[in-house]
Amino acid sequence: MRRLLSMLLLLPLIANATPQIETWQTDNGLPVWFVPAMSVPMVDIELVFDAGSRRDATLSGIANFVSAMIEEGTAKWSADEVAQQFESLGAITGFNASRDMATVSLRSLAEENIVSQAVSQMAALLQGANFPPEALERVRQQILTSIEMGQQNPASILSDAFYRHVYADHPYATPVVGEASSVKALQQPQLLDFYRHHYSVSHGLMVIVGALSTAEAKRYANRLAAALPPGEPVSKLPVVKPLTVSQQHHIAHESSQSHLMWGMEGYARGDKDKFALYVGNHILGGGGLVSRISDEIREQRGLSYSAYSYFSPLELGGVFVMGLQTKNSQRAYALEVLAQTLNEFIEQGPTEAELTAAKKNISGSFPLKIDSNSDILSYVAVMAFYRFPINYLDTFTAQIEAVTLEQIRDAWQRRLKGRAALIVSVGAGQEFNDAQSTQRP
């Protein structure tokens, strides 16, 4: 009776735990998702644009380059002056590009005169960014240095090669940072053209989280949106073609350990099998040290300190990935164990105990993932960009709890059984061979 009473008392807290989202469009048509959050006197704003590296076309690296150039000044202000203006208000800005999207973020105290000035300064920057030549060359060198450093890092070499092979001729195949030859050739007019075309109302949306009234949020949203050009209709991109033939690639690199990635077709954002695949992966390799892959690879055989799996969904497709690091001499054996663990999971599915533990872990940790304004901002930005239902956060836990053993077995067998796989490794020595596979601990 006492336990039941405690649960009933908690129900109102649980019911109100997820953010309450409001939506509208600005005066010039930019979609806005707003979450009032009065407990902390801060305001977080993020503009999200369909301006990720998938829009690079033949100009590899241009999306990343443009994102890095926005804060480099206007005709009126130098980069230092732009930074000083935001710093004087205690405001923090951010500019980022990924495969699907590019973001511009602003964090400010919610005090009216401060947030108002910060929003006005950001609007002026977005409207006046002119990518000055001296800054352009400096940023170009920074990007080229980053590319060069990545070419010496086994993890970066592996990731770049994996995505190049798994996505083949799709725009997702190219590293977000771009190829060095392309970055060297990019010119100011090309960057400005990309910026003006993609950082626009037709390609964007806005998310606001913070201690504002709806009226205040609408006023600031209109001010920021007014700085954006209307833009042209968004052009469609091709969906990802699944692998049809299994591939295995090894990249020789002098290191004491080999880095491995095993991948196959996953799912795109909004896929109907998402929750069955997601919960299943938590059991297989996404749940940390208690996952099956970690138990087989680390605990039972000591092949790697960390072994994992995950789904990486994007708008136009996605991949399922397993990965680990191990001694070069144990590379093939670790791969055998990884394959066996995956095949057994696909054939048999999880146990009732594993499913119960996974649901408890996912549902129990979920409130912690949306317990700050910045966390909420990130989640809502993803929801808005990928057109999730507005009640996605409200129903997330229920969706997890509704997953059954049969749904997991069905989804994993339909989506992964017998599919072509891609294996990429980076480490000393040559391709996998029988001698390596016998070197077991």
pLDDT at 431: 64
Rounded Cα gap, residues 317 and 239, in angstroms: 6
For residues 323 and 151, what is the distance between their CA atoms, to the nearest angstrom?
A: 19
- Mean pLDDT, the chain cut into blocks of 10 residues (441 residues total): 37 57 98 96 98 97 98 95 97 98 98 98 98 97 97 96 96 97 98 98 98 98 98 93 95 93 95 97 95 96 96 96 96 96 97 97 93 95 97 96 98 96 92 45 38
CA distance 37 to 24: 17
**DSSP letter (8 states) at residue 78:** B
Tell me the pairing of strands 307-314 and 317-327.
Answer: antiparallel
H/E segment holding residue 247: strand 247-252
Tokens of 224: 């920021």
CATH 3.40.50.10470 fits 247-436, yes or no: no
CA-to-CA dists, residue 234 to 197, 332, 414, angstroms: 10, 45, 33
Tell me the CA distances in angstroms from 174 to 62, 152, 157, 169, 266, one per residue in order. 11, 18, 13, 9, 18
The count of other CB atoms within 10 Å of the CB of residue 6 is 9
| Helix, strand, or coil (residue 91) | coil
Q: Residue 409: which of 268, 273, 254 has the closest Cα?
A: 273
Whether 380 and 33 have beta carbons less than 8 Å apart is answered as yes
In which residue ranges of the chain is CATH 3.30.830.10 found? 22-227, 247-436
State the Cα–Cα distance between residues 175 and 53, nearest whole angstrom. 8
Q: CB–CB of 52/97 below 8 Å?
A: yes
> What's the order of all strands across the beta sheet hosting 317-327?
247-252, 422-427, 257-265, 317-327, 307-314
- φ and ψ at residue 95, rounded to 5 degrees: -140, 125
Residue 156 backbone phi and psi in degrees, to 5: -70, -40
What pLDDT, on a 0 to 100 scale, did the predictor assign at position 17?
A: 64
pLDDT at 435: 38
Write out the H or E segment, with its range, that includes residue 424. strand 422-427
Q: Which helix (H) or strand (E) holds 162?
A: helix 154-167
Residue recorded with tokens 């977000």:
176
For residue 376 the two structure tokens come to: 């909420």
**CATH architecture, range 22-227:** 2-Layer Sandwich (3.30)
Strands 257-265 and 102-109: unpaired
pLDDT at 2: 40
- Tokens encoding 301: 């055989």
CB 33 within 8 A of CB 46: no
